[in-house]
Amino acid sequence: MSDIDPITLSVLSGRMEQIADEMDATLFRAAFNPIIAEAHDASHGLYHASSGDTLVQGKSGLPIFVGVMSFAVKAVIEKAAKDGNLADGDIYIFNDAHIGGTHLSDMRLVRPYYRDGELFCYLASVGHWHDVGGAVPGNYNPAATDVFQEAFVLPPVKLARAGVMNTDIIDILLRNTRLPQSAMGDLNGQIGALDLGIKRMDELLDEYGVATVSAALEALGHRAEALMRSELTDLPDGHWEAEDFLDNDGIVDEPLSIKVALVIKGDCMTLDFNGSAPQCAGPVNIALPTTVATAYVAIKHIFPMLPANAGVMRPIDVIVPEGSLLSAEFPAPTGGYTETILRMIDVVFCAFAKAEPSRVVANAYGTINALSIAGKRKNGKPWVMFSFYGGGHGGSIDGDGLNHGNAPISTATIPPMEILEAAYPVMFRQWALRPDSAGAGTHRGGVGAIYEIEVLEENGAEAFLFGERGRFAPKGIVDGDDGAMNVFSYEQDDGWKTPPLASKMRGITLKQGQAVRLETPGGGGYGAADKRALVDISDDVACGLVSAAEADKIYGNAWREVAQ
């Protein structure tokens, strides 16, 4: 490794992060679908030329993509080595979740960056497309038993060859979506983001040279590793375990275990997921790349000051049992990966709470509640409203959990009600906080939300829900109480109904004027409820977050004297 002074290293680190941030911003502004444009379900980064390891990732993209996109780039490296025809200006595209992680809605573009005729690194873009075919509009099919029932599967192929676009690939993509205009807009946005990345890398290397930037990238990886080892050394050695459950797989109504053993020894850590449920029939399986990436996200939450760099994971061994739902093999369905990785993060946090509780928060609400409402307009054109929804975050040593936040797997935002109502024939009857949903504690969890969505289209619509936490509540830690569970209901001619599988259902027929309702979970509490300050209880009641009756039940009525 060439020597590089700390100031230059810091400057180059910031410059390269800025490149990834600009790529993020370019796609967010150009994308057609609100899941990217408003919710920021996308990511960009720079990756090692030979290993595919993450070098830099944008701060606005989804953290889950940090580790996953490394596997995606590795898949392209292997494909290019096999074909032997990698060239400057090539762009690979694919969505195969078993190769690149996550699920088929996430379209990945990978482009080699050349300098003076030599491969320097890879740039990559991933974004959640609105619809990629399959049996269910929006692709969250809770009844899928293989990937072919979820979406169109595209292996790594060349979208561009030496700068010339392969329009045949674009034709195939647009023929396999209900929303071709949206798909084309998102594709152009991703291509534009990669173009900008190439331009900014040229500017950076023009200014600093190949040798200096290469040395900086190498140094950043070593420093990330050293920082991680230093953090682990400060923690107690030991072995701790935690277990939680998914409601079901959408096919068989039986709970599925997610289990972890956390081992810290010196400057090394092991996360062992042996004991987790076997690969299942339904779409809550995840591929190995997704599991490794999720372990990284959990670690980043626990050690937030560490950089987004593959060096962080060098001291950490992630053990994933073969044949489990955490290492699913093609063509096992993976559409609901979000629910499984959220439970993985929950169990890592619960195990870590036994080692060093000050480092972690109680469980957040633990489901994105992927809700798709779709139909046809009077002119016959299809519409698909797919979105995800928020809930309460867990309490921590520093205070109460966030009310109505987004899932801790991402930095994405919940699409605004106004955007959804403007784009689709729906009306939100309610978008509000859910009282009495937070887990009690010295620091309570955040409260969940209530969403009630009415169909306005006279042709009606169909609804599909892929959620979790309908039967297993978000856990409190350090003697904190659990949050409320997820409740989904839908309106029919004879009243409101709930799904037999609690959190998953497809093919819900809705007439004009009928609605669906989500009552999302609150976060778990931190610390014993009897140690909560009376003034905080009084404030919760005054703000409508906790009812007076619930406060009396949990804390007793001494808070009333403070309120008076």
- pTM confidence score: 0.92
Rounded distance, CA 291 to CA 547, Å?
39
* Bridging pattern class, strands 118-128 and 157-161: unpaired
Q: What are phi and psi of 462, to 5 degrees?
A: -120, 145
Q: What are phi and psi of 197, to 5 degrees?
A: -60, -45
Strand partners, 258: 244
Rounded distance, CA 70 to CA 278, Å?
25
pLDDT digits (tens, 9 = 90+) for 118-147: 999 999 999 999 999 999 888 888 889 999
Rounded distance, CA 523 to CA 538, Å?
19
Rounded distance, CA 437 to CA 463, Å?
25
As a whole-number percent, the residues of the chain with pLDDT over 70 amount to 99
The arrangement of strands across the sheet holding 426-433 comes to: 426-433, 449-455, 515-519, 487-492, 495-497
Three-state SS at 35: helix
pLDDT digits (tens, 9 = 90+) for 506-527: 999 999 999 999 999 999 999 9
Q: Which two tokens stand for residue 168?
A: 């045949």
Nearest partner of 415 among 389, 393, 434, 450, judged by Cα: 389
The full DSSP string for 426-451 is EEEEEEEE-TT-SPPSSBPPPP-EEE
Rounded distance, CA 53 to CA 113, Å?
15
pLDDT digits (tens), the chain, 564 positions: 457 899 999 999 999 999 999 999 999 999 999 889 988 889 999 999 999 988 888 877 777 776 788 999 999 999 999 999 999 999 999 999 999 889 999 999 999 999 999 999 999 999 999 999 999 888 888 889 999 999 999 999 999 999 999 999 999 999 999 999 999 999 999 999 999 999 999 999 999 999 999 999 999 999 999 999 999 999 999 999 999 999 999 999 999 999 999 999 999 999 999 999 999 999 999 999 999 989 988 998 899 888 878 888 899 999 999 999 999 999 999 999 999 999 999 999 999 999 999 999 999 999 999 999 999 999 999 999 988 999 999 999 999 999 999 887 766 678 889 999 999 999 999 999 999 999 999 999 999 999 999 999 999 999 999 999 999 999 999 999 999 999 999 999 999 999 999 999 999 999 999 999 999 999 999 999 999 999 999 999 999 999 999 999 999 988 998 876
Q: Which two tokens stand for residue 233?
A: 């050394």
Q: Which two tokens stand for residue 391?
A: 């809930």
521-532 in b/e form (b: 16+ CB < 10 A) is bbbbbbbebeeb
Any residues with CB less than 8 A from the CB of 209 and at least 6 apart, and which?
Answer: none
C-alpha radius of gyration, the chain, whole number:
24
Q: Which residue has the tokens 């292997």?
A: 78
Any residues with CB less than 8 A from the CB of 195 and at least 6 apart, and which?
Answer: none
Residue 4 confidence (pLDDT): 87
Rounded distance, CA 499 to CA 486, Å?
12
Rounded distance, CA 186 to CA 130, Å?
9
